[in-house]
Structure 1
Amino acid sequence: METMNNTPPQPPESAAGYRALVVDDERPLVAVVTSYLEQASFEVAGAYNGHDALARAREIDPDVVVLDLGLPGIDGIEVCRQLRTFSDAYVVMLTARSAEMDTIIGLSVGADDYVTKPFSPRELVARIRAMLRRPRKEPAYETPPPRPGGEEVKPRSFGALRIDVEGREVSLGEHPVMLTRTEFDVLAALSARPGMVFSRRQLIAAVWGETWVGNEHLVDVHVGHLRRKLGDDPAAPRYVTTIRGIGYRMGTGQ
């Protein structure tokens, strides 16, 4: 990780008004990440264990949480799981291990991204800024414009699958499907252009933003979670089809 003597530059665009919560039992690391985020105009709070992290999250309602996987007591996985019951903050998981299973578990409970220690605070801040550029009210993926006369945009239907983009709700038949924000955004991006093959890079641009940096296979993990929640068999997909060597395509649902 970069040293504290390396002062981060003032970013070209302000992040004023955004709140960040940094959670790690290594106090020097919390201090460094806090310094970089404050230089980027974030309001920052810190916590050093899982109990305090959840309490602080309820108190300040952060826009983004930087969360260590290996916390003492309540670990980062459980913190993220509980956080998702009351917050839609973006979560960046920090892990000292690069094992694929750590990544999959972290993302499966609602983390949006992960960073392996040691890491560059500058890169971390860049990822956070890219995530926050994902609009909350006007998604980066293509949404049909309002119809004349104020008529509501109809939900997208693929067989039994119904996607209400404006209401951010998904259902299979009569049953609601609970998706994380990122899973919903991936599904919305794919369903905006049925039949079109999206590369991983195109999905990253639509969901994470053009400036996102990191492993593009992050898309595969979120698509895998999405498929499981939709009951979609990759060997005989109804909704999300893998196009080998290219990416993914939204099917008809039949």
Structure 2
Amino acid sequence: MSNKILIIDDDLNIHEVLRLYFAREDYQLVFAENGSLGLDRFRQEKPDVVILDIMLPIINGWEVCQLIRKDSNVPILMLTSKDTSEDKLMGFDYGADDYVIKPFDPKEIVARVRALLKRVANFSESQSMDTYNQNYNPNVLKAGSITVNYETYEVLVNQKPVELTPKEIQLLFFLLKHPKIVFTRNQLLNKVWGDEYYGETRTVDVHVKRLREKLGDTNGVQLKTVWGVGYKIEVM
């Protein structure tokens, strides 16, 4: 059975371009021209991937993404002309799995969708979890041998509790929510410590160092330094 892709975008030219390129693959496409219709189609069609614009009529893409995330963990790729780093971070905060800026290469979109579907398939095999499982809890993340429960502020490594400070847990949870995404120290300060924090960026370095020491390096998760930029999490 072919995978189903829902494309929510008010630009009909983009519909046709994506239709042309996805036609070469074994995918079923569903289209919507505004946010309201997109949500209806999502509930009716139960797609395997959503490609979502932000500047949409009736209901914008931010709201659509949030509403989808209330019910489903389906992969969402935001395809938009909003190109600032703040926009991209907001997209990931709202639950997007990937973010591509217009104008775009259609072949790249096909490749990214393929990667998202592969990630879901691998996760389903290892976790025995359906993508649309209503018991999905967005406050519990599992990566490698690490489990982070953001509701109870508990962290397990190989099923054993690890003592982390609240801020260390917040930083770990944020990075795990956005694997492979590189964040600068200032971005991490803004997202984890908040707008009102006026301390030095070295605070981030100290917390990263402590996380590495407490979590170890044999748990399938690597907290990497990207020299001259910041930090990212990679799941092996």
TM-score range, shorter chain: 0.5 to 0.7
| Greater share of helix | 2
Deviation per CA, 1:88-137: give whole Å up to 9, x if none: 11111111132111111111111111111111111110111122111122
2:204 corresponds in structure 1 to 234
Change (3 A) 1:29 1:248: closer
Change (3 A) 1:131 1:156: closer
Alpha-carbon distance in 2 for matches of 1:235, 1:79: 35
Deviation per CA, 1:65-85: give whole Å up to 9, x if none: 110011122111111011101
Determine if contact 1:234/1:242 at 8 Å carries over to the other structure: no
User: What is the TM-score of this pair, normalised by structure 2?
Assistant: 0.61
Change (3 A) 1:164 1:91: farther
Identity of aligned residues (%): 31
Match of 1:136 among 87, 101, 123: 123
1:70 corresponds in structure 2 to 55
Deviation per CA, 1:46-65: give whole Å up to 9, x if none: 00111111111111111111
1:196 corresponds in structure 2 to none
Alpha-carbon distance in 2 for matches of 1:86, 1:164: 29
State the superposition RMSD in angstroms: 4.0
Partner-residue secondary structure (3-state), 2:123: coil
1:94 corresponds in structure 2 to 79
* TM-aligned CA deviation for residue 235 of structure 1: 4.5
Within a 5 Å distance, the mapping from 1:25-174 to structure 2 comes to: 25-134=10-119, 135-138=122-125, 156=146, 160-162=154-156
Match of 2:183 among 208, 216, 220: 220
Determine if contact 2:54/2:80 at 8 Å carries over to the other structure: yes
Determine if contact 2:176/2:233 at 8 Å carries over to the other structure: no
* TM-aligned CA deviation for residue 38 of structure 1: 3.0
Alpha-carbon distance in 2 for matches of 1:244, 1:28: 38
Instruction: Give the unaligned 5+ runs of structure 1.
Output: 1-15, 140-154, 166-171, 187-203, 205-217
Match of 2:176 among 162, 167, 183: 183
Alpha-carbon distance in 2 for matches of 1:249, 1:97: 25
Deviation per CA, 1:144-182: give whole Å up to 9, x if none: xxxxxxxxxxx64799423689xxxxxx89xx99x99x9
Instruction: Give the unaligned 5+ runs of structure 2.
Output: 127-144, 194-202, 213-222
* TM-aligned CA deviation for residue 86 of structure 1: 1.0
Alpha-carbon distance in 2 for matches of 1:157, 1:76: 30
